[in-house]
Amino acid sequence: MSLEREEPTHFGAGPAQLPTVVLQQAAKDLINYNNIGLGIGEISHRSKDAIKVIDDAKAHLKTLMNIPDDYETFFIQGGGTTGFSSLATNMAAAYIGKHGRMAPGGYLVTGSWSQKAYEEANRLHVPSKVIFNSKDYDSNKKFGSIPKESQWIEEFNKNKEYSYVYFCENETVHGVEWQELPECLASNPNVEIVADLSSDILSREIDVSKYGIIMAGAQKNIGLAGLTLYIIKKSILKDIEKCTSNDLLENNIPATPIAFHYPTVVKNNSAYNTIPIFTLHVMDLVFKHLLKKGGVKVQEQENNEKAQLLYTALDKHPDFYNLPVQKDCRSKMNVVFTLKNNDLDEKFLKEATIAKLTGLKGHRSVGGFRASIYNALSVESVKKLADFIDDFAKENSN
């Protein structure tokens, strides 16, 4: 069987398209890794070869994101949903360990994923508060905007303390993306920012030092499903360790399962239990591929070009396409849109598929269409979609 393939133009939101060269190398390594006679998925997670994969992935990510020395990087099985619960319980423990008391976690809800993160913390009885829900600021009570900080700062200030403040930097379902950190968080040393970057990590340069924890599931922009990376301040790890089981009991906070207890995972170099080493290896191949391209700065320039191509094509036909997201928070990773004439939906998908433009169907909860233009999608692939969008509108307008 050949490892060659026609370069796909797949716009699925996740699991998503990966660079062909990454998959070709991964396929070879799955059979025989580094000529050791075993595939990468067959070796012990505590062997020298596996440990090197873990260490290399951490080192390459540190270079790509310029991660400061006072941060740790680690990997945990699962995805964003696993992170919703582990972030809440670990950050609650960190706050208790540092202050000897509990304060609520704050949530900035801008889409379904940040909503689910809040709901999970609430389900676990970790004190939590919605600082704002962007639906409340929309005339149609839908996600599609981020309110100005001046509109919710009063609600934020009602609590003098937060154990953390959580937000999802890019909402894949609703196509909403934060363009910058809220000033009230970025300039406040007493608030730990916890951010889900699952679908826009490594898509643009960020200042890691502004964050307390960064979480990113792999299957959208950096790898295969089944593994999530975390970047955390070392001081937070120390605070978690200070919190005893009795402290948790006195504050009615659930204990974190050992496999998701951040200090335990870090002390064991992400191998406390059996890490899916093949999945991590693919992630590291993506890191190395991006380094070879020139790093995040080069990728950001490419992503800006792709987003401009696609939004320009859609905005060119305002009577044909509807873009539900306000321009100041449009995602550069997940472009969502609908047709003014819903009767053309099936035709759009059918003709797009014939043109080999796949994965465009919108999330089942919102319908319409979604083009996820992650790092692996080339400018040429996005241009094909932009041309199709333009042509389809011209051919089907009344």
**C-alpha to C-alpha distance for 200 and 111, rounded to whole angstroms:** 15
| Active-site annotation holds for 178 | no
Looking at residue 337, its amino acid is F
Q: What is the DSSP letter of 168?
A: E
Looking at residue 335, its amino acid is V
| Active-site annotation holds for 220 | yes
Helix, strand, coil abundance in the chain, percent, nearest 5: 45, 15, 40
191 to each of 157, 182, 272, 301, how far by Cα in Å? Answer: 12, 12, 30, 31
Catalytic residue (one of 29, 58, 113, 152): 113
Q: Is the dihedral of CA 229, 233, 237, 240 positive or negative?
A: negative
Tell me which H or E stretch contains 141.
none
- CB distance 265 to 257 below 8 Å: no
Ramachandran sector of residue 385 (left: φ over 0; alpha: ψ -120 to 50; beta: rest): alpha
Catalytic residue (one of 58, 129, 220, 233): 220
Q: 265: Cβ–Cβ under 8 A, 6 or more apart, which residues? A: 74, 75, 76, 259, 272
Q: What is the DSSP letter of 251?
A: T
- CB distance 216 to 170 below 8 Å: no
**C-alpha to C-alpha distance for 382 and 66, rounded to whole angstroms:** 29
- DSSP tally for the chain: helices H, then strands E: 13, 14
Among 326, 370, 317, 366, which Cα is nearest to 139's? 326
**C-alpha to C-alpha distance for 216 and 233, rounded to whole angstroms:** 15
| Active-site annotation holds for 288 | no
Catalytic residue (one of 58, 129, 178, 196): 196
Catalytic residues: 113, 196, 220
